[in-house]
Structure 1
Amino acid sequence: MDGCWPVRDVLAYLAGSWRVGRTVRDLTSGDEGRFEGTTVFGPLEEGGLLHHESGTFTWRGVPRPAERTLRFLPGPTPGTADVRFADGRPFHDLDLTTGRHVARHPCAADLYRGEFTVRDADHWRTVWRVGGPAKDLLLTTDYVRGTD
């Protein structure tokens, strides 16, 4: 599954339920955590998708409930998305028409660099590298389309 799978419409592709597995590595300390859960992309009244992720994050052997919400709005060109935090602040753009996309998001003095890769109709991956004075992390997330 090394190739990229082009997606004509990112919102149509993402809609529905996905199983999620994420590793979080602190590159400074060597600590590694794991998130297991689901992400549901459901319709928003104003168009686009509401992304709601929930599950369990285990860090240093301690499991905790974890969740986050994002808004995937129609992007500036057909088939793309404008990803925003739950409160409406901009996060990043998303264009998977080639099956691969790189996004950047400055957060205070740290920089988030995300690489999105679509493997096929039911599998995609994100790899976020977070670097700066406050963080040195690598987050790798695999998504597998749910069966509901």
Structure 2
Amino acid sequence: MTLFPADLDPELYERLITSGGGALTRKMGIEFSELGAERSVARMPVEGNTQVIGLLHGGAHVVLGESLGSISSAIHAGAGRYAVGIEINATHSRSVTAGWVTGTCTALVLGRTLATHEIVIRDEEGRRLSTVRMTNMLRDR
């Protein structure tokens, strides 16, 4: 499997390649393994992304989720369009203190003006840590 879908907008491809998904994504250590409108997957290290008592920061869960949801929505939007996040929420179900977490982003709605994705974040044992839901508005350039 290739990282990018074959029909990816060349301008978006260039932005993803040159930015690595953005400065915050790089700073958090997020690594993308699959990108598409319907499904995207990435992982992130716990180390370096913890809060004061050593747990993976709740905001780090949201950064991983928003990174996946935003890129998936931008892929769906297509050439000459872009995605803007208008709503995000997260439910944290379990904590983690070490290793890597993996986010799997699945499309719930892929419309002409809105795209909604659910991102499930799991630990290395496959346990659900959090669920993030994000809606993006799709706009013409």
- TM-score normalised by the chain length of structure 1: 0.35
Q: Structure 1 or 2: larger helix share?
A: 2
Structure of greater Rg = 1
